[in-house]
Copies of this chain bind each other. A is one copy, B any other.
């Protein structure tokens, strides 16, 4: 059996997933057979070029025609395009893989999660950073109790692409299309990773900031308003009493894609940075300080599929891993995590941060 995959979106995320699909046969021979069937978009000419380059057999400008024709529907469009096609696909019994954040609004995410609950197929939210081998390894250490009782967790996601006030406006600056700014784009990753590793957030206090109110539209004299946050921070309590701080910004001069996770427990600690994603720093029983582990050994997560120890992987490999897991679940008719439920859980946290910012006080998540 060959799984037919339809993909909405052909830019950054489209390329990242198409590449992952293309690489599975050589590196994950036990993955299901896949056909890159249909690429979906609006601009027919651009779409056609993209389909050629990304190896899709057909194109479509109407997702409605695609969602029930394929075995798996990938929703990689801007956030505001997430709910409707995803729900339609699920209602048609088609497995769905949707980029994060799940939706621009909490309501959107709730509808999507509800559709997923009613469907009999996997509905995955593409939090790819769970699939960094070093993160999987971190999770193994935590689940084995190597950190003891966790006390502190910190997540920072620092980028610098909006430092320049004249950097052009994009859909990522628009509340309608993106839902939120750094919060949804970067914070969603942090929230999911921390909840994956440590447990659910139960209470929080959040803060949002927009530094530059309007930005020039590329190729025109106009400016458009920035209606989302440029940065957020949050203090949080997690299940089991863990104390957490979270932060993200698009204004961190000198940081390109610096997603940092730090976890401290009674018996051990961990540190991770996405810019050195092959490494995990661990301070476990018997250690006096942090040890830099190059997570590229044969028995490290996913590594037997790739290269010998010390031959490092890149960012894109996380997509191969998540596609492998998602498509295997589709083929087997099994569960996939992170699911829409996980996406909704993250979305609740994002919404609580916005809510807390407006109210100026702590907010409970039930």
> Which residues from B are CB-within-8-Å of A12?
307-308
A290 within 8 A of B: yes
Copy number in the complex reads 4
Binds B, one of A19-27, A69-77, A92-100: A19-27
Taking a contact as CB atoms under 8 Å apart, the answer to whether A307 and B16 are in contact is yes
Taking a contact as CB atoms under 8 Å apart, the answer to whether B151 and A275 are in contact is no
- Chain A 173-184, CB within 8 Å of chain B: the 1/0 string? 000000000000
* Residue in contact with A360 in the complex, picked from B292, B312, B317, B361, CB distance below 8 Å: B361
- Chain A 55-99, CB within 8 Å of chain B: the 1/0 string? 100000000000000000000000000000000000000000000
* Residue in contact with A294 in the complex, picked from B289, B307, B317, CB distance below 8 Å: B289
Q: Which residue of chain B is the closest to A288 with respect to CB atoms? A: B293
Taking a contact as CB atoms under 8 Å apart, the answer to whether B245 and A247 are in contact is yes
Q: Determine how close the nearest CB of chain B comes to the CB of A28; give it in whole angstroms.
A: 10
- Within A1-43, which residues are at the interface with B (CB < 8 Å)? 12, 15-16, 18-19, 22-23, 25-27, 29
Q: Determine how close the nearest CB of chain B comes to the CB of A156; give it in whole angstroms.
A: 8
Taking a contact as CB atoms under 8 Å apart, the answer to whether B315 and A254 are in contact is no
Taking a contact as CB atoms under 8 Å apart, the answer to whether B254 and A266 are in contact is no
Taking a contact as CB atoms under 8 Å apart, the answer to whether A243 and B288 are in contact is no
Q: Given A251-B152, A252-B264, A264-B251, A289 and B293 touching (CB < 8 A)?
A: yes
Q: Determine how close the nearest CB of chain B comes to the CB of A250; give it in whole angstroms.
A: 10
> Which residues from B are CB-within-8-Å of A223?
none
Taking a contact as CB atoms under 8 Å apart, the answer to whether B256 and A296 are in contact is yes
Taking a contact as CB atoms under 8 Å apart, the answer to whether B209 and A243 are in contact is yes
Q: Determine how close the nearest CB of chain B comes to the CB of A64; give it in whole angstroms.
A: 28
A225 within 8 A of B: no
* Further pairs besides A25-B55, A205-B235: 11, Cβ < 8 Å: A26-B54, A205-B205, A254-B264, A254-B283, A255-B269, A257-B310, A276-B276, A277-B312, A286-B286, A290-B291, A360-B361
**A residues with CB within 8 A of B:** 12, 15-16, 18-19, 22-23, 25-27, 29, 53-55, 151-152, 154, 156, 158-159, 161, 163, 165, 205, 207, 209, 211, 231, 233-235, 241, 243, 245, 247, 249, 251-258, 264-269, 274-279, 283, 286-294, 296-297, 306-317, 360-362
